Amino acid sequence: MDPLLEQWQKDYKNATPKLDTAALLSQITSARKKQSIKAWFDLVAGTFVSLFCIYALIFEATSTPEQVLYAILTPLPIGFSIWAFLKRKKLIKSNILDFNALLLFKKQQLINQINYWRLNLIGCSILWAALCITAAVSVLMYNHSTIWLIQLGIGTLVLILTLTRYLYLKYHLKGKLNYIDNLE
Amino acid sequence: MSKKDHIHEVLLQYAPLMARIAATHEADQALREDLLQDISLAVWHSVENFIGDSSMKTFIAKVAHNRAVDHVLKETRRQDRHNLSDPLLDLVSTDSHQHSDNTYDLMTAMRRLPLKFRQVISLQLEGFNQAEITHTLGINEANVAKRASRALVQLQKLMEQ
């Protein structure tokens, strides 16, 4: 073997940072426990809220629109919990991907993030428009201004924050994708 | 031996390997410790997916490198915090002062290498053969050889600076 490489191998081994393995083990055991508790909590909470929606649909809803509302709401919490669970699994699997596959995965994550915030923005915009119409009707016809103005203010703030986040991510997306491309 | 005990044993056995991989990707001590924790957790989660198609050491190096790449991407995005001239004050050196200087130079120089070269050279210095590096990085042997020779040249240039 090349003597220089041999010397570097020796130097590299000697450059091992100081390790407190007992502390490391204790930290990751605790971190893993927390992750596990969080995963179970997400799943139980999602199931509980969905079950509550079913209860409300059967015993609490007094009109058809209410029943429709609860029927639409029922699958959402449990669906979100399952999505989060599958996402965790996918993330764990990414640990054993090949280098290029990992970079592809990272690029897809960035694109998914943009799509997620775009959808969020569209949803917020629709809700904000609906809120504006409802507020206008309420203020003009029934003179209930304060509560609607507060709601409109909160809605506008949420919309601005969502828009800012989306524009920020969109602005930086190309640079991030180029950076990953350069690693390949 | 229980599953948990087995994982603990694996983590203890390969902690120095994981720490070295973390050190070749992060100069800041606090961030390096975070990265080491992240790698250890990833190894814990991933050991269940180990199907024995390579040695455990190769498998762990693969997981550790993937987490390190993820870390580099995140940190690069956050800010250009990888101050490559940061001293590694806690390096363990068993030899002379001159040796310690060489060690410092090697780790600093390695972090200056492009990621694709850094990965190959760190695996080579860890003692992995070409086939194992191929398996770890998912690139063909010709590519490994090309990267390794270019990495060695670049590293030598950096060390001479």
Q: What confidence tens digit (pLDDT) does each residue in A101-160 have?
A: 888 888 998 999 999 999 999 989 998 998 888 888 888 888 778 888 888 899 999 999
pLDDT at B119 over 70: yes
A178 CB within 8 Å of a chain B CB = no
Q: Enumerate the domain spans of chain B.
A: 1-83, 96-161
- The arithmetic mean of pLDDT across residues B94-108, rounded, is 57
pLDDT (0 to 100) of residue A1: 62
pLDDT (0 to 100) of residue B102: 55
pLDDT (0 to 100) of residue B81: 40
A-interface mutation test, from B2, B37, B95, B125, most A Cβ less than 10 A away: B125
Residue A87 pLDDT level (bands cut at 50, 70, 90): confident
A89 CB within 8 Å of a chain B CB = no
pLDDT (0 to 100) of residue B90: 36
Q: What confidence tens digit (pLDDT) does each residue in A18-35 have?
A: 888 889 889 999 998 998
**Neighbour-count burial of B147, counting CB atoms closer than 10 A to its CB (0-12 exposed, 13-18 middle, 19+ buried):** buried
Q: What confidence tens digit (pLDDT) does each residue in B61-90 have?
A: 999 999 998 898 888 777 644 444 443 333
Of A24, A102, A103, the CB nearest to B40: A24
CATH number for domain B96-161, candidates 1.10.10.10, 3.90.1010.10, 1.20.59.10, 3.40.50.2300: 1.10.10.10
DSSP tag of A102? H
3-state secondary structure of A17: strand
A-interface mutation test, from B69, B136, B154, most A Cβ less than 10 A away: B69
- The arithmetic mean of pLDDT across residues B8-30, rounded, is 92
pLDDT (0 to 100) of residue B5: 85
Report the distance separating Cα A97 and Cα A115, nearest Å.
24
pLDDT at B92 over 60: no
Percent of chain B at pLDDT above 90?
Answer: 44
ipTM above 0.90, yes or no: no
- The arithmetic mean of pLDDT across residues B36-52, rounded, is 88
Q: Which residue of B has its CA nearest to A33?
A: B41
Q: What confidence tens digit (pLDDT) does each residue in A48-60 have?
A: 999 999 999 999 8
Residue A95 pLDDT level (bands cut at 50, 70, 90): confident
Of A15, A35, A101, the CB nearest to B20: A15
Q: What confidence tens digit (pLDDT) does each residue in A62-73 have?
A: 888 888 888 988
Report the distance separating Cα A17 and Cα A14, nearest Å.
8
pLDDT at A80 over 80: yes
CATH class of B1-83: mainly alpha
- Does B1-83 match B96-161 in CATH topology? no
A15/B99 touch (CB, cutoff 8 Å), yes or no: no
pLDDT at A184 over 80: no
Torsion sign (Cα): B21, B27, B28, B31: negative
Q: Which residues of A66-83 are buried (b: 16+ CB within 10 A; e: fewer)?
A: eeeebeebbeebbeebee
* Contact between residue B36 and residue B7 where contact means Cβ atoms under 8 Å apart: no
Report the distance separating Cα B155 and Cα B111, nearest Å.
10
pLDDT at B93 over 60: no
* Contact between residue B35 and residue B68 where contact means Cβ atoms under 8 Å apart: yes
pLDDT at B94 over 80: no
DSSP tag of A141? I
Contacts of B104 in chain A (CB under 8 A): 15
pLDDT (0 to 100) of residue B87: 37
Q: What confidence tens digit (pLDDT) does each residue in A3-15 have?
A: 888 889 999 998 8
